[in-house]
Amino acid sequence: MSGLIDIKVPDIGDFKDVPVIEVFVKPGDKVKAEDPLVALESDKATMEVPSPRDGVVKSVVVKVGDKVSEGAVIVQFEGAGEHAETRPVVSAPPSPTSAPAGVAEVRVPDIGDFKDVPVIEIFVKPGDSVKAEDPLIALESDKATMEVPAPLSGTVREIKVKTGDKVSEGAIILVLATGGGGAASAPVAAARAPVAAAPAAAPAVQAGVVDEKAFALAYAGPAVRKLARELGVDLGKVKGSGNHGRIQREDVEAFARGGGAAAAKPQAAAASGGGVGGIDLLPWPKIDFAKFGPVERKELGRIKKISAANLHRNWVVIPHVTTHDEADITELEQFRVKMNKELEKSGVKLSLLPFMVKAAVAALKKFPEFNASLDGDTLVYKNYWHIGFAADTPNGLMVPVIRDADKKSIPDIANEMNALAKLAREGKIKPDQMQGGTFSISSLGGIGGIYFTPIINAPEVAIMGVCKGYWKQHSPDGKTWTSRLTLPLSLSWDHRVIDGAAAARFNVYFANVLADLRRVLF
């Protein structure tokens, strides 16, 4: 008698109520044993549930977002009323298979509609022994990250692609000398399940400084690699707590928070949320806010998501220190007002910001390490002065860049700044107008506040935060008092590159230049 075969969630350890993040099949699909049916993602691991047998899908019982535990029915196959066991794959390397010896060309398998997809990582090098299913390369389109696993065991003879190459189905990846073998090459399930995220190459996103070779050889999945790139973590230095030493999301986060020591903590600690200095961090609070009052949910916009990822990485990875100071801008303000009157007919309007850009260039020339970037253990000094400025836009924070600010006049900088801020606010600014900055200024002067801690815009090593100028009582000699227009300065600096004394000197010089612009001539 025909009936239905229930395919259920297998034993998934201690996990319960795990969200379904992807469903790979639909009614009518013919599936083979081991084809993935759904992906589940807890806050600790991503698991695929493969089919325990060949079959035809009659109905899909779960949908994305459902929460499932062991025993829940995922899909029903057509067939006699029997039960089939499933088991989850938590990205553990499968055992090798055997095949006749020879030479095999490994090609890019069917990757759906994707074409000309950039190779972002190569995990192997000539001479490496690989087992069937070991990842060979990673491809990253703007929709998904895909790993292409080895179709059979063997020794890598020759690699035919390099990072940055664009490949499509059928392109030769490498040549394998085989002693073992298996099925045809197929991307792992990540390829079938495009990651719905902002493009990795989004304008403001810049990868951290990592050892690319070790990164490529580390044992980790695409999502973990993406996180490591965002956090600037060198995967080669992270100890994996997963099966067979596979690097998990929490290993990368723990490494970014507390360095190698934290990542080396036992799995039990990682399972309770990772930890630093012996104190385990608690998991992020999951609260049903609606229990306490009416709520409204709104997903973050694209720009906010990109800036959030950047700010998070920069805050977690860079050891920030902020040094506060103040500048006497009484004379500068008089000069600004005077110049604005003179320039009235030309249509140029000067705020304080263009003067600060010029003061920043002067200070950066005097203290070149503030105009540098870290590249591993090397400091790259830049002999150009491109100054970024934070602009508040309806879509979120953006940082347009004034290129070659050293060569431009203050009115030219003011005009360019207005034009760039307008483009940013209208959502028309181009990625290259936000790239190449060597130092940034974040001005809240038009709004208010006294001091704040600006977050460094990696790979820059410092940022100047400015608040609203205010009249302050000042005594030059302890006896007489005058009121001076005072500008609060907050310089955040990367303590890996800059010392506190240098930061204090930078601030003093910057303030002195604003107090008397003639100093830029010296």
Catalytic residue numbers, as ranges? 495
Give the Cα separation of 103 and 96 in Å (integer): 17
Strand partners, 147: 138
CB contact set of 22 (below 8 Å; sequence gap of 6+): 38, 39, 64, 192, 193
Q: How far is the CB of 469 from ligand CAO (least distance, A)?
A: 4
3-state secondary structure of 139: strand
320 phi and psi angles, rounded to 5 deg: -80, 140
3-state secondary structure of 340: helix
User: Tokens representing 263?
Assistant: 């990542």
3-state secondary structure of 442: strand
Closest C-alpha to 365, from 439, 456, 454: 439
Burial status of residue 452 (CB atoms within 10 A of its CB: 0-12, 13-18, 19 or more): middle
Q: How far is the CB of 231 from ligand CAO (least distance, A)?
A: 20
- Interface contacts to ligand CAO, rule CB under 6 A: 351-353, 389-392, 397, 421, 442-446, 454, 466, 468-469, 487
The DSSP secondary-structure symbol of 89 reads B
CB contact set of 207 (below 8 Å; sequence gap of 6+): 229, 232
Q: Where are the alpha helices (DSSP H) in 106-174?
A: none
